[in-house]
Amino acid sequence: MKALFVHDHRFSEINGDYYSPGGLPNTAWDRYFNTGMIDKLIVVGRGDKSEKVDEGLVQSSTEKTEFDLLYNVNGGFEYYTKKALIRNHLENHIKKVDYVIIRNSNLGRVAGQICRKMGKPYITEVVSCAWDVTWNYGGIIGRIMAPKSFLSTRRVVLHSFATLYVTESYLQNRYPTNAEITSYSSDVEISMTNNGLIESRLVYLKQKQADNTLKIGQVGDIGARYKGFDIALKAFCTLKMKNPEINFKFYMVGGGESSYVESIIKKYRLDDNVEIVGRLESGEEGIFKFLDTLDLYIHPSRTEGLPRAVIEAISRACPVLASSVGGMPELVPNKYLHKPGDHNKLYSDLAEILTDVDQRVDMATENFEKSKEYSRDFLAKRMSDFYKKSFNAIDSLRKENS
């Protein structure tokens, strides 16, 4: 049986293999293959071609995947100006596959329209809020597109045959569905670490660095303004002025154009307190190794679904401060959250947490326990059960209509 996966994700083609900047490694497809019902997965997204594997890219292709990417759709208004090209590209696949899996996105909304027109059942994965992502993407274009994106996403989700959410309640309330088959499961899976990790982390948090520098980190696309790096920098500017006794270094990890944040760093005279690290590889030798060196992780995004970076941070027993958007309250206690854009609350939280090592230890312990809900084995079974049930129901419907 063949399945089609549709999402805006940008993949890189390198020597016939396909790579992701981290969000869709080849293990992401296990949720479909583990059902035992899929022989081939066709992936449609955006794409570019390169000659070498840049740092931070992870392989997404496998023997059972086939990538047919849109290399000339860059985003923004091109989703509308090139809609005919996108529609033809998707129609060719939708009419040939047995199952259609749509992750909410601009390409996904077109795929949903095509499926409804064909009378073909489809499965949706709701991983983020279309309004928040589009509105906060930056500039007037995003604000113009936000209402249409929100309403069309609601329509796609409402009429889906089966729906999987990454949150327990937030996205369900914003994007309700008529589907009889529903479930929720994070699209971020972590390997369960042994108790030795939490023990070593607590020792690390309690010890003083040689230069007494407290290390704070954030992971995300540095070029995406909705990730809130500017909010963090404003808070750190206030911290530096009002609490000069706190010696800190803020590490920004992620790809993307950095000129915007560089200008803010210069404006607030934070050159000595901030380092733009760039992309890091996923896993033990990349992101996890970085997280293990932090005294505190922050995530002041203006919009999120259920952020991978925060789940990975709590799995490494990092104390976390974050904004209250999306599913963040499902991960972080309310007292450590601030309203999106509220750099003053973030500053006050920083000033409190960075001067209280016992509180950081308590946060680390609580976060590590919470992260166990996102263990790979637990989520893999939940997702496999959902897709197996969905595929079987679609097969039964097809037989009834044949």
| DSSP string computed for 358-391 | HHHHHHHHHHHHHHGGGBHHHHHHHHHHHHHHHH
pLDDT at 133 over 80: no
Whether 369 and 382 map to the same domain: the answer is: no
Q: Which residue has the tokens 């704070």?
A: 216
> Is residue 167 located within the same domain as residue 245?
no
Domain co-membership, 47 together with 165: yes
DSSP state of 179: -
Does 231 share its domain with 342?
yes
- pTM of the predicted structure, to 2 decimals: 0.76
Of the candidates 324, 316, 273, which has an alpha carbon nearest to the alpha carbon of residue 295? 316
**Looking at the predicted structure, is the pLDDT value of residue 137 above 70?**
no
Structural domain count, the chain: 2
Yes or no: say if 181 and 390 are a contact pair by the CB < 8 Å rule.
yes
Rounded distance, CA 116 to CA 167, Å? Answer: 25
For residue 86, the enclosing domain spans 2-189+375-401
Q: Which residue has the higher pLDDT, 127 or 144?
A: 127
Q: Quickly state the pLDDT bin for 210 (edges 50, 70, 90).
A: low
Is residue 14 over pLDDT 90?
yes
Query: What's the pLDDT band for 54 if we cut at 50, 70, 90?
Result: confident
Quickly state the pLDDT bin for 381 (edges 50, 70, 90).
Answer: confident
Q: What is the CATH number of the domain that holds 212?
A: 3.40.50.2000
The answer to whether residues 34 and 156 belong to one domain is yes
Mean pLDDT of 214-233: 93
More confident site: 260 or 402: 260
44 and 9 together in one domain: yes
33-43 per-position pLDDT tens digit: 999 999 999 99
At 287-300, the pLDDT tens digits run 999 999 999 999 99
User: Does position 7 have pLDDT exceeding 90, yes or no?
Assistant: yes
Better-scored residue on pLDDT, 328 or 22: 328
Q: Does pLDDT of 328 surpass 80?
A: yes
- pLDDT computed for residue 77 by the predictor: 80
At what angle are helices 343-353 and 357-371 packed, to 10 degrees? 110
Instruction: Assess whether 117 and 74 both reside in one domain.
Output: yes
User: Among 24-28, 45-49, 131-135, 187-191, which range has the highest average pLDDT?
Assistant: 45-49
User: What pLDDT band is residue 195 in, cutting at 50, 70 and 90?
Assistant: low
CA atoms of 361 and 366, how far apart (whole Å): 9
Are 279 and 224 contained in the same domain?
yes
Virtual CA dihedral for 217, 275, 353, 209, nearest 10 degrees?
100
**DSSP secondary structure of 222-242:** TT-GGG-HHHHHHHHHHHHHH
Domain shared by 287 and 383, yes or no: no
One domain for residues 219 and 79: no
87 close to 110: Cβ distance less than 8 angstroms: yes
pLDDT of 211 reads: 67
Using alpha carbons, select from 367, 256, 252 the residue that is nearest to residue 312.
367
Mean pLDDT, residues 232-258 taken together = 95
Is 179 in the same domain as 289? no
What are the backbone angles phi and psi of residue 321, rounded to the nearest 5°? -115, 135
168 and 226 both lie in a single domain: no
CA 162 to chain centre: 21
Whole-number pLDDT of residue 307: 87
